[in-house]
């Protein structure tokens, strides 16, 4: 849709001028082409403008082409704040702290796997608990949880869940320092004790895919991605634990905003000055939830491998299955960026946005240092997913960030209504995709029509130069919550 007051900068960017709303301290920029512009929600545009009004914002308030309305920040939102004058806001991270994506490569070929795909999907569904409130195989004591919150994926490795080498290929090594388990509520501990190693509900999934198209063969080969080879993508986060951490701190931040006299154009942007005790406590609790999520994906990966070995009667060498990368897309992190020619530390909020660091960045593992960071973009369950690489332009334009997925165009209620009388699982099977879920409504909520076309979204960030397309992946088997 065309919205009055917005200005098109070029074929892939819209500007929300600083005068669009009173109180804006900077402009907003939405990465969207004319085709995707028709799906822009007015409220999502308002949210980008509202973020631009927050104290200490540096650069622009940004949104990626998968933009849609969220809590506080739009989903697809990116914003950075000065550590001296700026704030931190739970609405800029979201309820599912460190929702993210993990991608495994394998030496298996599509023709080997398709004949056993039904058995593989059933094995994944059996081994990996899914659905709202699902409980996992692990039962953690409070002391176990505290160790997990401090160690993240390293805790899972120490418990025998896959390999220590995996840690090198996880953002932040699978663990952010500075987590404080003492700041976590009893209710969060209660919710988290039985949900480690579970997929959850909504748009979370484990998906068996194959490499369908290669755009950069040399880079694809470096990542171990070859035509028609099988991959597995895992998309989930911190489950009820992270949701409770967010809930607990929203109340604290609402009081803090009043205490520090921060003018809010949307109460969902409740926040506190970065250096305040409230902000530092939230940051330490958020880091604990992020570590919970990295451990969660590590455990799930282990059960993915076990499922393949069981069904295909193969050992680890026969599968050749290993981790390419794991990256968060709901998180706030202190990073160094160049602002107006000066290097400075800022706190970058990414909510439904993926880190996309360029070649040479010191946070990248040695194996990818000269290549750039792998960027993992899941699609809906009926279409493609993509692997991209981070770029230098992302560092100069978007705080090293890019899109995170397709982005919804229908609410879950609208999707269920539209799917009435249809058998989505059968429609998927007719496309050659076997799907298993905890309920029919999940499939209706997550059907392809509920989302933007992932190829169009990825094309925008590729054309913008804030990430570079490497390969396209097609699904053949999916388990959903």
**Active-site positions?**
404
What is the C-alpha to C-alpha distance for residues 47 and 194, in angstroms, rounded to an integer? 35
Vertex 229: Cα angle to 373 and 470 (nearest 5): 30
107: which residues sit within 8 A by CB, 6+ positions away? Answer: 229, 318, 319, 320, 321
Residue bearing tokens 């007015």: 42
What is the C-alpha to C-alpha distance for residues 204 and 223, in angstroms, rounded to an integer? 24
Residue bearing tokens 């660091």: 357
385, 475 in Cβ contact below 8 A?
A: yes
158: which residues sit within 8 A by CB, 6+ positions away? Answer: 151
What is the C-alpha to C-alpha distance for residues 150 and 138, in angstroms, rounded to an integer? 18
Helix intervals (H) in 38-116: 42-51, 110-113
81's tokens: 């704040």
Residue 245 CA: distances (Å) to CA of 91, 212, 405: 12, 39, 24
271's tokens: 């926040």
């Amino acid at each position: 849709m065309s919205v009055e007051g917005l200005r098109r900068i070029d074929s892939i960017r819209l500007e929300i001028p600083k005068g669009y709303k009173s109180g804006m301290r900077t402009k907003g920029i939405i990465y969207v082409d004319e085709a995707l512009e028709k799906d822009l929600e007015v409220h999502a545009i308002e949210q980008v403008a509202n973020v631009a009004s927050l104290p200490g914002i540096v650069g622009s308030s940004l949104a990626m082409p998968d933009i849609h309305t969220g809590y506080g920040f739009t989903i697809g939102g990116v914003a950075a704040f000065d550590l001296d004058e700026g704030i931190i806001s739970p609405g800029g991270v979201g309820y599912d702290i460190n929702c993210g994506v993990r991608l495994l490569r394998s030496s298996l070929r599509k023709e080997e796997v398709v004949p056993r795909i039904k058995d593989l999907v059933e094995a994944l569904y059996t081994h990996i608990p899914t659905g709202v409130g699902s409980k996992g195989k692990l039962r953690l004591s409070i002391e176990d949880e505290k160790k997990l919150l401090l160690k993240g994926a390293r805790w899972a490795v120490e418990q025998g869940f896959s390999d220590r080498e995996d840690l090198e290929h996880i953002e932040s090594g699978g663990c952010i320092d500075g987590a404080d388990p003492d700041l976590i509520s009893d209710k969060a501990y209660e919710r988290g004790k039985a949900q480690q190693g579970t997929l959850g509900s909504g748009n979370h999934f484990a998906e068996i895919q194959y490499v369908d198209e290669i755009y950069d063969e040399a880079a694809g080969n470096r990542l171990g991605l070859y035509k028609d080879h099988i991959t597995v993508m895992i998309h989930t986060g911190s489950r009820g634990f992270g949701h409770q951490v967010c809930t607990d701190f929203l109340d604290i931040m609402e009081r803090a905003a009043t205490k520090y006299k921060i003018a809010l154009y949307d109460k969902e942007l409740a926040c506190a000055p970065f250096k305040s005790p409230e902000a530092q406590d939230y940051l330490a609790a958020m880091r604990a939830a992020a570590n919970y999520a990295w451990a969660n994906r590590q455990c799930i990966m282990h059960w993915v491998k076990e499922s393949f070995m069981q069904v295909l009667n193969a050992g680890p060498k026969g599968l050749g299955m290993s981790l390419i990368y794991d990256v968060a897309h709901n998180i706030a992190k202190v990073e160094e960026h160049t602002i107006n020619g000066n290097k400075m530390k800022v706190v970058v909020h990414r909510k439904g946005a993926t880190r996309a660091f360029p070649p040479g960045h010191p946070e990248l593992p040695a194996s990818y240092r000269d290549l750039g960071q792998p960027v993992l973009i899941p699609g809906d369950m009926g279409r493609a997913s993509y692997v991209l690489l981070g770029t230098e332009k992302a560092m100069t334009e978007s705080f090293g960030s890019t899109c995170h997925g397709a982005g919804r165009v229908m609410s879950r209620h609208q999707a269920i209504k539209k799917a009435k009388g249809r058998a989505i699982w059968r429609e998927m099977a007719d496309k050659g995709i076997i799907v298993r879920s905890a309920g029919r409504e999940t499939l209706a909520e997550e059907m392809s029509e509920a989302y933007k076309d992932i190829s169009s979204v990825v094309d925008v960030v590729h054309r913008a130069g804030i990430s570079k397309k490497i390969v396209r992946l097609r699904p053949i088997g999916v388990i959903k919550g």
